[in-house]
Amino acid sequence: MVRDSKGNDKRLVVYVSQELFQELETLATKEDRSTSNFTRNLIASAVEQYKKGKNL
């Protein structure tokens, strides 16, 4: 768990449409993973691709 300078847990909450959530849920199920785990890994992958494209 990541903590801020005051020692509090840091979390990211993202609101998505019902349609997008259902799509994420379907994709996660196909890979036999939880929706939250699948989404977390998808975000991590997207960040890495973004950094490579921006040469960060």
pTM: 0.74
**Of 39 and 54, more confident:** 39
Sign of CA dihedral 44, 20, 11, 54: positive
Strand partners, 8: none
Pull the structure tokens for residue 20: 């997008």
Domain ranges of the chain: 29-56
User: pLDDT tens, 9-47?
Assistant: 888 899 999 999 999 999 999 999 999 999 999 999 999
